[in-house]
Chain A
Amino acid sequence: MFDTDELVINMGPQHPSTHGVLRVVLRLDGEKVVDADVVIGYLHRGVEKLSESRSWAQIVLLTDRLDYVSAATSNVGYCETVEKLMAIEVPRRAKYLRVILSELQRIASHLLWLGTHAMDTGAMTVFLYAFRERELILDLFEEYCGARLTYNSMRIGGLPQDLPPSWDRKVLEFCRIMEGKLEEYETLLTGNRIWLARTKGVGVIDGAEALALGLSGPPLRGSGVRRDVRKDEPYAAYDEMEFDVPLGVAGDTFDRYAVRMQEFRQSIRIIRQAMQGIPEGPILGKVPRLIKPPAGEVYHAIESPKGELGFFIVSDGKSTSPYRFRVRPPSFCNLQALPRLVKGHLIADVVALIGSLDVVLGEVDR
């Protein structure tokens, strides 16, 4: 009825399903989205600039606040970047532990994505189921480092502490539970006609365009592009792990969903291998007491749950803090596909698509 004119509507920054403080200005023709404009910056805290006046060791805890639902992977990314700059050799046990923590973190992050994505499409039970399992991971992290959200769990050159006793048993127990619960989620969603109707053919993007838009992580792999930093440029101990890179075909919301669901299983697989093959030894490499990398610049990327998380750091070799610090946040790059994805779809698809891109505003705005 209201099709005679376009309706401009503000979705966010206060909106239940923009996952934080994202603001999307939608131009609607009835219920159909004609155009979308993503407005970001509501959560900008100046992490990058702030890092330039903090010591190298202090920056680790700033990286916690980038992707706050996936702090451990950000920690790994930053520490490895500095290690690369300083050419520090990390002990093998530390590498394995980093893999385990990263993959646990990936599962936790994907669980949060699954819950909110399903919640956005109205399946509220999945949300609580996902949080139930995420709780187990948070408990594991709490036992390891004492924190449940911002772990500060890495140090340049290794890890702050070794595993607590019987932690490994609990991790394996979690893997066992998680596999059963995955079946539960898939029963509620994957075969559900309404879920299929809501996700299949929504927000289709092909591989070439996804690459052109700079997508990475599950959104890119959902379009069928084989790109995974863990495989392509292995870091930590990923070169010793055996795992598959799940790929989508159609590049729609359902494929992005399916890719992540497969990644749960791959993560469990990696955790099991790492727990099995974890060597004994020190957990912290030889690191000078005062961290002062040589002059130079470095870029290093890891595969965070959201995609390729890169750190670009310039050191002048004189001061005890970076000269220039820059993050390549996967959420930020993935988010720029949103206007392209939502065009021509309905409002309900907008929330489904924000969910399927899995953005965290802490990382987008930094």
Chain B
Amino acid sequence: MVELVLIPLLKIIVVLNATLLGVTYMVLLERKVIAWAQSRLGPMRVGPYGVLQPVADAMKLMLKEDITPARADKWVFTLAPILSMVPALVVYAVIPFGDEVHLFGRRISLYITDINVGLLYVVSVTSVGVYGIILAGYSSNSKWPLLASLRASAQLISYEIAITLTLVSVVLMSGTLSMVGIVTSQASQGVWYAFIQPMAFVIFFIGGLAETNRAPFDLPEAEQELTGGFHTEYSGMRFALFFLAEYANMIVVSSVATTLFLGGWLRPFPNVEFLSFLGIVPGWCWFLLKSFIFLYLFIWVRATLPRYRYDQLMRLGWKVLIPLAIANLILTAIVKVALA
């Protein structure tokens, strides 16, 4: 009973809480990093160096009046934020944060579950996240959110293709769809897939930016164009859910990138003997560090680049990334067969 129910339940609780905490502090980190990039200080008022700012933000959002626009489709309007939040959280079920650890005399694996179709699960669940955005745009009964949700869905669907194709080439290398299996195969092959699949890695990163609606692909919520995008009409907790979902998705993308391309919880150069002192650092620390690097990149890009235009975004997705991903996939297959 303990093995079957209690431990998974505890894991779920820990992961969910860690995620939500991580998401709120991700917001603070973003504000701080962007502020430093722009020679500002960022939040400084709540707590020392503003470390309690997320708490204040959460309080504000929770206590704020929850407004439903007149003639909005109330039912769908309430459902939409939930539909975008749930997939973002459910994905964490298969993300391996680390190897096994010994805790209270038990061997506990640092992932909620390791399923046979792990990677496929990630792709499918995230593909459902688009509903939240489309339905939010539709149900707000307002033109700007509608335009934004159209943009968003076109963008998400287009870049999903490129991302999935890069994932296929990773699967070709690992021979398994299981997230844990992908990490262990990187250990056994002794190389992170970022080095043997650099093209896939880059495409995944760009696609990840687009999938999470981050700059320079933040068209669906481009404040300057669409007055806030699909969540223009949202306020209070429902807005907070969209907000959390976006940042949770960022963490998902960086976790998946870490797992697939940067060896998950493995230390750098997992098979080089004289670097084995790096093994002192526990695996989950490596995982967090690598994910953090990704998140930092996300923020850095946002502070640097202007925004693409809708047609340019589509052109980049369909005419550059997808053909490149397909070429990379074919090349990987050929090389793999030739080597076998």
Contacts and interface: CB of A to CB of B under 8 A. Distances in A.
B189 interface: no
Contacts of B310: 31, 346-348
Interface in A298-349: 346-349
Interface string B14-50: 0000000000000000000010011110000000000
B306 A351 contact: no
Interface string B271-291: 000000000000000000000
Given A192-B305, A348-B219, A348-B309, A125 B38 contact: yes
A88 interface: no
Interface string B304-319: 1111111110000000
B309 A189 contact: no
B213 to A, nearest CB: 12
Given A9-B143, A125-B37, A125-B38, A118 B306 contact: yes
Contacts, number: 91
A120 B304 contact: no
A124 B227 contact: no
B147 interface: yes
B304 A125 contact: yes
A197 B312 contact: yes
Contact of B311 (A16, A28, A128, A346): A346
Contacts of A121: 224, 306-307
B144 A9 contact: yes
Contacts of B34: 124-125
State the main secondary structure of chain B at its contact with A.
Answer: helix
B309 A346 contact: yes
Nearest to B144: A9
Given A125-B303, A188-B304, A197 B309 contact: yes
Contacts of B144: 9
B151 to A, nearest CB: 8
A7 B227 CA distance: 17
B57 interface: no
Nearest to A202: B309
**Centre residue among B215, B306, B310 by max chain A CB count within 10 A:** B306
Contact of B306 (A15, A17, A132, A194): A194
A225 B206 CA distance: 41
B303 A17 contact: no
A212 interface: no
Contacts of B86: none
A194 B37 contact: no
Given A1-B150, A122-B218, A348 B40 contact: no
B224 A119 contact: yes
A350 B98 CA distance: 48
Nearest to B313: A348
B222 interface: yes
Given A122-B215, A197-B312, A16 B307 contact: no
Interface string A173-201: 00000000000000011001011011000
B66 interface: no
A350 B308 CA distance: 14
A347 B143 CA distance: 13
Contact of B227 (A15, A192, A349): A15
B311 A194 contact: no
Interface in B144-163: 144, 147, 150-151
Given A122-B218, A128-B39, A348-B225, A31 B147 contact: yes
B223 interface: yes
Contacts of B303: 124-125
A17 B143 contact: no
Interface in A192-221: 192, 194-195, 197-198
Contacts of B311: 31, 346
B216 interface: yes
Interface in A260-291: none
25 contacts: A1-B150, A9-B143, A16-B223, A31-B151, A31-B311, A118-B306, A119-B224, A121-B224, A121-B306, A124-B302, A124-B303, A125-B34, A125-B38, A125-B303, A128-B38, A128-B39, A128-B40, A189-B306, A197-B309, A197-B312, A198-B308, A347-B226, A348-B307, A350-B225, A351-B225
Interface of B: 34, 37-40, 143-144, 147, 150-151, 215-216, 218-219, 222-228, 302-312
Q: Enumerate the 4 nearest inter-chain pairs by beta-carbon distance, A residue then B residue, closest first.
A: A122-B307, A128-B38, A123-B306, A17-B224
Given A2-B150, A194-B305, 10 more contacts: A7-B143, A17-B223, A128-B38, A128-B40, A129-B38, A129-B39, A346-B311, A347-B147, A348-B310, A351-B225
Interface of A: 1-2, 7, 9, 14-17, 28, 31, 118-125, 128-129, 132, 188-189, 192, 194-195, 197-198, 346-351
